[in-house]
Amino acid sequence: MGGVVTFVSLTSDMTLEEKNSLATRSVLLAFVIAIFFAISGKMILNFFGVSIDSLRVAGGVLLFVVAFDMILAKVSRESITEKEIHKSMDRSDIWIFPIALPLLTGPGTITTIIVLMGSAASIIQNIEVMIAIALTFAITWVFFHFSRRIYKFLGYTGMLVFTRLMGLLLAAMAVNFIAVGIWNIYLSFQ
């Protein structure tokens, strides 16, 4: 939902058909990127010799920065900068950059996906993570598809309040990532 304000500003001069087409393409690409990292993330970590717990700590710090920006109702530096938003206004491929990547699948999202898949203890849990990814992007598509209506209904202030509440929840998740990661790293040295 936090990305809806950015999406509305990037698509404000488009027709409804153009906006919906862009929403579909960007969400599909973001979904493909997310699934790619869900499947290959652990292999990539192994290749570079990085443990899931190290990524959990680093990702927790990164997610906390994003959450802090959300609480302050700022566009996250982790996902997209104001300068990138303004530069992208003149391009026709904004569905790729900055919407699909990094707005929808930035480093925080990718880290979360890899950590969740790496922490899964069974195939069933891996499937549950994949289903959660699919549901998340389906909901994102609905939010983007109806972004103008949502924005009109909630208004700018409503969007800021919602973004701040989501930022608080994300901050709690980030602290949990960091705590679990540090604890597991500590246990691995004993």
Tell me: the pLDDT tens digits for 41-58? 999 999 999 999 999 999
State the DSSP code for 99. Answer: I
Q: Which runs of consecutive H residues, i.e. helices, occur in 72-122?
A: 82-88, 107-119
Residues 3-26, mean pLDDT to the nearest whole number: 91
Q: Is the pLDDT of residue 73 over 90?
A: no
The more confidently predicted of residues 79 and 38 is: 38
Q: Which residues, at least 6 apart from 48, have a Cβ–Cβ distance to it below 8 Å? A: none
Structure tokens at 71: 């609480």
Residues 178-189, mean pLDDT to the nearest whole number: 96
Which is nearest to 169 in space by CA: 75, 70, 61, 62? 70
Query: What are the φ/ψ torsions at residue 125 (nearest 5 degrees)?
Result: -65, -35
This prediction's pTM = 0.86
